[in-house]
């Protein structure tokens, strides 16, 4: 026998479980017994304090982006860029001659010979990621370079671009 409570958890009937039905007899059949799951709105403040802060409410979000931009950003961060587009972007935004240190360092032959293959592969993966970050830094740098000599500088736009480039440079540095 099962209860028709909408939010129910099914447990084996041979366990001692408080019944939600009107009868007080324990079930002896092999059928599962439904147990109602309590809604947290019924809990008093002392119990909610013991449980702690709801972790799903801790996350703070910023301003919404344009919906067409949002869809693309979420897709690219969860699926990644198409292989050809990724190569095209890396080829388009080459490291400037006056800013060579933004390129990732290359593991020299002596170090490569001294470390395990797993560590060499790990270093190659970090290097590949850093090359993508370099392309992003160069792209933003070119945009800022276009804006700086303008007579009517949009300082808010330059500030946003500078914040983005700083964040990406920090990612590059931390790797």
Please write the tens of the pLDDT for every residue from 6-20. Answer: 444 444 444 444 444
The radius of gyration computed from the CA coordinates of the chain, to the nearest angstrom, equals 29
- Three-class secondary structure of residue 43 per DSSP: coil
CA dist 80 and 164 (Å) reads 19
What count of other Cβ atoms lies within 10 Å of the Cβ of residue 136?
19
| Domain ranges across the chain | 8-57, 93-174
Calculate the average pLDDT of the chain: 82
CA dist 102 and 139 (Å) reads 12
pLDDT digits (tens, 9 = 90+) for 25-82: 454 555 666 655 556 568 888 888 898 888 777 778 899 999 999 999 999 999 999 9
| Residue 141 tokens, joined | 């740098």
Lowest model confidence (mean pLDDT) among 4-18, 59-73, 91-105, 139-153? 4-18
Whether the predicted model's global pTM rises above the 0.85 cut? no
């Amino acid at each position: 026998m099962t209860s028709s409570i909408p939010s129910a958890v099914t447990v084996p009937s041979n366990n001692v479980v408080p019944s939600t039905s009107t009868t007080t007899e324990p079930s002896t059949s092999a059928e599962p017994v439904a147990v109602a799951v309590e809604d947290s709105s019924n809990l008093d403040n002392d119990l909610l304090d013991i449980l702690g802060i709801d972790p799903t409410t801790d996350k703070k979000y910023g301003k919404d982006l344009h919906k067409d931009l949002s869809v693309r950003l979420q897709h690219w961060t969860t699926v990644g860029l198409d292989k050809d587009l990724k190569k095209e972007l890396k080829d388009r935004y080459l490291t400037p001659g006056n800013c060579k240190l933004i390129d990732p360092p290359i593991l020299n032959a002596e170090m490569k010979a001294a470390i395990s293959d797993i560590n060499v592969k790990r270093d190659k993966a970090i290097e590949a990621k850093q090359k993508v970050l370099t392309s992003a830094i160069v792209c933003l740098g070119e945009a800022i370079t276009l804006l700086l000599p303008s007579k009517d500088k949009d300082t808010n736009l330059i500030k946003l671009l500078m914040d983005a480039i700083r964040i990406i440079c920090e990612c590059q540095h931390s790797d």
